[in-house]
Amino acid sequence: MSSANQAARDRAGVDFSEALAEQLRRTPWFLTSVVFHLFVLMLLQLFGSAQAPKAATDSVIQAFLPPDPPEELEPPPEPEEPPEVVPEEVATEEPVPVDAEVSDHDETPNEEEFEEAKGDDALAEKPFDGVSNGDQIGLAGGGGGGFGSRRGGDRARRRAGGPPPSVVDAGLEWLKNHQSPDGRWDCDGFMAQCDPKKGPACDGKGQATNDVGVTGLALLAFLGAGHTHSSGPFKETVRRGLQWLKSVQDSEGCFGERGYHFMYNHGIAALAMAEAYGMTSSASWKRSAQKGVDFVVAAQNPYKAWRYDVRSGENDVSVAGWMVMALKSAKLAELQVSDAPIRDAHEFVKEMTDEESGRTGYMKKGERPVRASGKIAAFPAEESESLTAVGMLVRIFAGEDPKDSAMLKAGAELLSKRLPIWEKNTGKIDMYYWYYGTLAMFQFGGPEWNAWNRKMLDAIVKTQRTDGNFKGSWDPEDAWGEDGGRVYSTAMMTLCLEVYYRYGRVFGTR
């Protein structure tokens, strides 16, 4: 081979190498990689054996793969594996039956609630999710919180032998039709809402100073049947009523003006607001409910109970009953309240209860209920065990078990001797007593409750008005009828007929 030819071949080799290198520099890295790996695969196809071990092939391919990333860099996430199915035989909990029923709670806030949630009531937590307390007072349970039993109210009513739902619905319809445009229930002016086409306007007006209290009672009747401001056919009625209560709450949390007996008004309104929040967890009511409960606590006499004013130094069982109910509902709603106020009220009830008879007194041990001036003769105190019923309810809410409490058994025996009877001109009609007696005896349970329930239904269902503007209401025929009027009597009787699902039993059935 001549030296000229060799030089030409060397130049050609150099030119080809340089040209290839230049082309590779100009070629995108991923295209270069593709070409390179195709070249490797062709070599394997040509020179590899068809029976070559897979491991050898893998090692050759691995030799041309990009190097592993540095240890400090996390590898790309792996696909999620399907969830592990736990065999039934290793499950540690028994299945809990759940009613196939959709909650009537509207999870989507309406425009008005959303605007309020941005203001003073806006909180860190979700404002419209339901709380997760128990379905029963003081016990753990399921959805709907401590007031969840109201969702299945009709089933509970049927199991307990309650009245037809139309009776409660008629009471609520009357209350709806007689709500004032501003949202309250007007004790002495509700008849302005009567429909002239239905005949004469209703009678039975009460006293204007009790508007806050009867508005709270009317709202409790709707809430007790599971109706809220965001669900059900009465949601607009409930919303307007709650808005009115909120509008008359002062900076310290007190609902309404502070006149004589104003603690009754406040206690009932605070109870209604606490239940409204507990049933919905709506930010619209949380701040108002918390402030109302805070005022209840602030008004309590140290280590005792309540009376007609803030820390007046006097105590009575009647006012204490409403305050304890407000505190208990607040705890169910997961508002901020300690156990101390109910514990102190429990001790006061013990002081007021005569150990021999089981009767709970008003301001003295074993004292009979009081009557308004001019009502003593018409409604003899001997016909009522209202304070004993209040004392029983406070004891149960404070944790006394009817199966073990001698005083609860003694109280139930006293109530069993004074069952509800609608008899005019005998002083036996006592709606205040029947309200607390129904709550207490339902909680007590057993044959005592069955006997009370039969007489209560007989007294109440048959006396509901069915005519004209009166339809669905009850005449205010008891000792306090002239104070609360027809709104009071209708709300109280409706609440009695909701006892089957308003609260679950604290200690189950006897």
Averaged pLDDT for residues 211-217? 98
Sign of the C-alpha dihedral, residues 359, 360, 363, 365?
positive
Band (164; pLDDT cuts 50, 70, 90): confident
Q: Residue 63: is it exposed, middle or buried by C-beta count within 10 angstroms (0-12/13-18/19+)? A: exposed
3-state secondary structure of 359: coil
Percent of the chain at pLDDT > 70 equals 68
Give the pair of three-digit tokens for residue 381: 């105190």
Helix (H) or strand (E) segment spanning residue 158: helix 153-159
Least confident window among 148-152, 216-220, 328-332, 369-373 = 148-152
Cβ-count burial 241-279 (b if 16+ within 10 Å, e if not): bbbbbbebbeeebbbbeeeeebbbbbbbbbbbbbbbbbb
Domains and CATH numbers, the chain: 153-502 (1.50.10.20)
How many CA atoms are closer than 13 Å to the CA of 32, on its beta-carbon side? 11
At residue 69, does pLDDT exceed 70?
no
Residues 165-207: tens digit of each pLDDT: 899 999 999 999 999 999 999 999 999 999 999 999 999 999 9
3-state secondary structure of 281: coil
273: left (phi over 0), alpha (psi -120 to 50) or beta: alpha
Band (503; pLDDT cuts 50, 70, 90): confident
Band (154; pLDDT cuts 50, 70, 90): low
Averaged pLDDT for residues 361-371? 95
Give the residue with greater pLDDT, 182 vs 46. Answer: 182
Band (288; pLDDT cuts 50, 70, 90): very high
At residue 94, does pLDDT exceed 80?
no
Band (109; pLDDT cuts 50, 70, 90): very low
Averaged pLDDT for residues 311-340? 97
What one-letter code names the amino acid at 440? A
Answer yes or no: are the C-beta atoms of 340 and 389 closer than 8 Å.
no
Answer yes or no: are the C-beta atoms of 257 and 208 closer than 8 Å.
no
Band (150; pLDDT cuts 50, 70, 90): low
Give the residue with greater pLDDT, 81 vs 334. Answer: 334
Band (509; pLDDT cuts 50, 70, 90): low
What DSSP letter does each residue of 255-268 carry, written as one string? BS---TTHHHHHHH
At residue 107, does pLDDT exceed 50?
no
E strand residue ranges, 135-230: none
Mean pLDDT of the chain: 79
Find all residues with CB under 8 Å of 298, minimum gap 6, and list them: 252, 253, 310, 311
Band (442; pLDDT cuts 50, 70, 90): very high
Q: What's the pLDDT score for residue 372?
A: 80
At residue 65, does pLDDT exceed 60?
no
At residue 226, does pLDDT exceed 90?
yes
Find all residues with CB under 8 Å of 278, minimum gap 6, and list them: 131, 133, 145, 146, 147, 329, 330, 332, 333, 334
Q: Provide the 8-state DSSP code for 199.
A: S
Residues 377-432: tens digit of each pLDDT: 899 999 999 999 999 999 999 999 999 999 999 999 999 999 999 999 999 999 99
What DSSP letter does each residue of 231-249 carry, written as one string? BSTTHHHHHHHHHHHHHTB
Q: What's the pLDDT score for residue 147?
A: 73
Give the pair of three-digit tokens for residue 224: 């007790």
468: left (phi over 0), alpha (psi -120 to 50) or beta: left
Residues 9-36: tens digit of each pLDDT: 444 444 544 544 445 455 454 444 544 5
Band (292; pLDDT cuts 50, 70, 90): very high
Give the pair of three-digit tokens for residue 173: 């319809």
